[in-house]
């Protein structure tokens, strides 16, 4: 590997709920289009496709593997290795795994640990900042990237720099300490002092350097990650870390585990425009606004409204006589909150979760490796879905114990396996799948196939499925549906 090239490790495993109802467990914020025309994950993929970067690794959740693969391909990322965490253990085990992955090819190799759920406004300046940190990382320092604060933010960690008479230009500057999320008064003092930056959670280091720190400070994490990688298995295009071994790693952030315990840390300012897009108020600040201070996306009509954030991905949202309100409308849930309180959704989401509501975890449209399905109508003994099957894709060979299914093709062509039969259906043609019958859908055509599925029976849960064959390796996952 070229001595000045960097291996990006894209951290794509988050599942936050602070942007509910748009961000959910099965489709978290890094895969959602929040700012711009693509998701934060796809923007990150584009960011690392030019020098000084080599082909990246993507470290993500097994539950999101097909979403990761699909969005990476859409972003033009052809050679990424997708490594699947069987369980989330925070950023310290992720950093250790990143170092191990790169060290297999080159212990001296440089690693950039990079979250995929942040907004970076200027990719060229970002790459320039990383390039500026390469000499320090090659010399054995851990390089962190800080953002000049423009407000007394209490939701971010801070980096205190060693005082210097020179300006911030021409860094790296040595780091005095890391400070966790401060109270507002303390944050105001940090800004006034001029010697603090927001911690962007981005780290550049030599693989061997980080492994040495883990060996000295967190040997339990190093052992767990080493064993998890040694026992990893290849599943299609994914590398699955060993669940038992990785689960032994303590759940801890890299800040607590390593950064607050080591010296010789350098900081480079990230003068690119940056946000962690952590909550709806931050999305409002980033959005383009009209003359009344309103930021809208989708089918929205406002009358006498000021300083509102309004999003709709389906129905028309009409608002009259309101100020400083956040309204987020999806196909199956609507959030209405004051802008002041819209950053504190955790108790609300927890209450919904306690009530057993699926809207906490998944959207009405559920993405699968073969396409997607969306529930259109649901009652005790029937459910109507729209199904899209990608060209060349096919569902698992399966059966159901408690329901029958009717399929009506809306457009395209599908191949149907029903018991011992195999036949084609085209537009306006239909078929019936009796309860207990083995069946499969496939799309042999060159365009997406759309069909309506009508389910009827005594139980309609997604866990009523027995898989006999699946090209996506999901035979051992009976609760995923389709």
Q: What is the pLDDT of residues 272-316, one digit of tens each?
A: 889 999 899 999 999 999 999 999 999 999 999 999 999 999 899
pLDDT at position 140 is: 95
Torsion angle of the four alpha carbons 247, 253, 256, 260, in this order, in degrees rounded to the nearest 10: 130
Q: What's the pTM value of the predicted model, to 2 decimals?
A: 0.89
- Cα angle 387, 390, 394 (rounded to 5 degrees) comes to 80
Residue 366 predicted with pLDDT over 70: yes
CATH no. of 365-469 = 2.60.120.10
Domain limits, the chain: 6-275, 287-338, 365-469
pLDDT at position 51 is: 94
Q: Which has more confidence, 190 or 404?
A: 404
The DSSP H or E segment spanning 94 is helix 91-103
The mean per-residue pLDDT over the stretch 215-230 comes to: 98
Domain 6-275, CATH homologous superfamily name and number: Spore Coat Polysaccharide Biosynthesis Protein SpsA; Chain A (3.90.550.10)
The mean per-residue pLDDT over the stretch 208-232 comes to: 98
The percentage of the chain sitting over the pLDDT mark of 70, rounded to a whole number, equals 96
The mean per-residue pLDDT over the stretch 463-476 comes to: 80
The percentage of the chain sitting over the pLDDT mark of 90, rounded to a whole number, equals 79
Q: What is the pLDDT of residues 99-129, one digit of tens each?
A: 999 999 999 999 999 999 999 999 999 999 9
**Closest alpha carbon to 229 in 65, 85, 13:** 85
Query: Which residues, at least 6 apart from 152, have a Cβ–Cβ distance to it below 8 Å?
Result: 184, 187, 188, 190, 191
pLDDT at position 228 is: 98
The mean per-residue pLDDT over the stretch 191-207 comes to: 93
Q: What is the pLDDT of residues 157-195, one digit of tens each?
A: 999 998 876 555 557 889 999 988 888 899 999 888 888
- Mean pLDDT of the chain, nearest integer: 92
């Amino acid at each position: 590997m070229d001595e000045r090239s960097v291996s990006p490790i894209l951290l794509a495993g988050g599942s936050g709920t602070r942007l509910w109802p748009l961000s959910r467990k099965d489709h978290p914020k890094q895969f959602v289009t929040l700012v711009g025309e693509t998701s934060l994950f796809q923007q990150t993929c584009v960011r690392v496709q030019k020098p000084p970067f080599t082909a990246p690794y993507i470290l993500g959740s097994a539950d999101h593997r097909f979403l990761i693969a699909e969005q990476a391909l859409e972003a033009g990322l052809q050679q990424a290795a997708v490594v699947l965490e069987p369980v989330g253990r925070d950023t310290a085990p992720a950093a250790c795994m990143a170092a191990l992955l790169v060290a297999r090819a080159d212990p001296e190799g440089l690693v950039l640990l990079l979250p995929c759920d942040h907004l970076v406004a200027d990719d060229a300046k970002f790459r320039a900042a990383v390039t500026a940190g390469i000499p320090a990382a090659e010399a054995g320092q851990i390089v962190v990237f800080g953002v000049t604060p423009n407000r007394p933010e209490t939701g971010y960690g801070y980096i205190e720099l060693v005082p210097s008479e020179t300006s911030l230009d021409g860094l790296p500057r040595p780091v005095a300490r890391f400070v966790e999320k401060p109270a507002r008064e303390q944050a105001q003092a940090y800004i006034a002092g001029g010697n603090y930056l927001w911690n962007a959670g981005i780290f550049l280091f030599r693989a061997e350097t980080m492994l040495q720190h883990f060996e000295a400070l967190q040997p339990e994490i190093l052992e767990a990650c080493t064993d998890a990688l040694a026992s990893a298995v290849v599943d299609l295009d994914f590398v699955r870390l060993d669940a038992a071994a990785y689960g032994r790693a303590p759940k801890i952030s890299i800040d607590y585990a390593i950064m607050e315990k080591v010296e010789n840390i350098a900081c480079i300012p990230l003068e690119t425009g940056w946000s962690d897009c952590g909550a709806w108020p931050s999305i409002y600040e980033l959005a383009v606004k009209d003359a009344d201070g309103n930021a809208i996306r989708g089918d929205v009509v406002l009358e006498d409204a000021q300083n509102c954030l309004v999003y709709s991905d389906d129905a028309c949202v009409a608002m009259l006589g309101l100020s400083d309100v956040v309204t987020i409308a999806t196909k199956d849930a609507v959030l209405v909150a004051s802008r002041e309180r819209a950053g504190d959704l955790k108790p609300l989401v927890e209450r919904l979760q306690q009530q057993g509501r699926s809207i906490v975890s998944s959207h009405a449209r559920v993405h699968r490796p073969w396409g997607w399905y969306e529930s259109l109508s649901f009652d005790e003994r029937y459910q109507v879905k729209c199904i899209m099957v990608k060209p060349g894709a096919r569902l698992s060979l399966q059966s159901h114990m408690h329901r029958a299914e009717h399929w009506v093709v809306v457009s395209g062509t599908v191949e149907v396996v029903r018991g011992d039969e195999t036949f084609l259906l085209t537009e306006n043609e239909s078929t019936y799948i009796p309860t207990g019958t083995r069946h499969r859908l496939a799309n042999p055509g060159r365009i997406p196939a759309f069909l309506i599925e009508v389910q009827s029976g005594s139980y309609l849960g997604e866990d009523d499925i027995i898989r006999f064959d699946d090209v996506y390796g999901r035979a051992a996952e009976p609760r995923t549906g389709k």
